[in-house]
Structure 1
């Protein structure tokens, strides 16, 4: 079987989507722009050493937007460090490391972890169909 790796236009479109995804998590978060990155039925899973928590798009975005707008979390940012993107036809996946930093309730913090994002091509362009992440633990 020959692996198709996607053309440069696909890779650029997905890279832009990933950049918008990571940039969305900041004070004054644009929740609508974040929603547009996902299929409405996307599945989002947080593991982080606990029982996995499964979210829909709204149940994922709403509490994060509220926290970022509450003033309890300031100077927050999250960014991709490195990753591997595989593209085949109308599907793709990114497995990447990421880092984050901010101040929550007056306490500075940093963190790192891994995310896996799955994408599908739609009539409106590439969208996230699934996301899962795990953070480093002490």
Structure 2
């Protein structure tokens, strides 16, 4: 597969913008509102995370409760960031698969976590947009292998 360095950089920028939107604070609602523009119409977001059945969201169904959580005060000092990942692309489609970490305080209890995300992206005239995201988090019996 061939990919231009500027396209790989643009896809990585979308990934970083997506994960960087999930930070608590006074502008969290605005960041998450702006995040909607990174998705194609009809995009889906799927969380597995050990659930008996994966949770499937449309864009608003995914973003709205996270806005409320980040702005509500019970989740503080929260941040999420990419660790490592790879971009694969062909023509106007791309895929990022990588690890991410998160930390914060929920109802007074500090926590950290890690997981893996898979993002599909499509090139539009205005740039790369997310068509689908799926993720799973580490838990007992499921950990990210260290290199």
**What's the TM-score once normalised by structure 2's chain length?**
0.89
Q: After TM superposition, give the deviation of residue 133 of structure 1 in Å.
A: 0.3
Do the aligned residues in 1 keep the contact of 2:22 with 2:32 (CA within 8 Å)? no
Q: After TM superposition, give the deviation of residue 61 of structure 1 in Å.
A: 0.1
Q: Report what 2:23 is aligned to.
A: 26
3-state SS of 2:61 partner = helix
Q: For structure 2, which runs of at least 5 residues remain unmatched after alignment?
A: 141-147
**What's the TM-score once normalised by structure 1's chain length?**
0.95
Q: After TM superposition, give the deviation of residue 129 of structure 1 in Å.
A: 0.3
Do the aligned residues in 1 keep the contact of 2:82 with 2:100 (CA within 8 Å)? yes
Match runs of 1:58-97 below 5 Å: 58-97=60-99
One of 91, 101, 104 as aligned partner of 1:102: 104
3-state SS of 1:98 partner = strand
Q: Report what 2:127 is aligned to.
A: 125
Q: After TM superposition, give the deviation of residue 33 of structure 1 in Å.
A: 1.4
Q: After TM superposition, give the deviation of residue 40 of structure 1 in Å.
A: 2.1
3-state SS of 1:36 partner = helix
Report the Cα distance in structure 2 between the residues aligned to 1:62 and 1:32, rounded to whole angstroms. 9
**Aligned structure 1 segments of 4 or more residues deviating by more than 2 angstroms:** none
Q: For structure 1, which runs of at least 5 residues remain unmatched after alignment?
A: none
* Alpha-carbon displacement from aligned partner over 1:33-55 (angstroms, at most 9, x marks no partner): 11011112101100001110100
Q: Report what 1:9 is aligned to.
A: 6
Q: Which stretch shows the higher mean deviation, 19-28 or 58-67?
A: 19-28
Do the aligned residues in 1 keep the contact of 2:119 with 2:133 (CA within 8 Å)? yes
The two structures, once aligned, show a CA RMSD in angstroms of 0.8
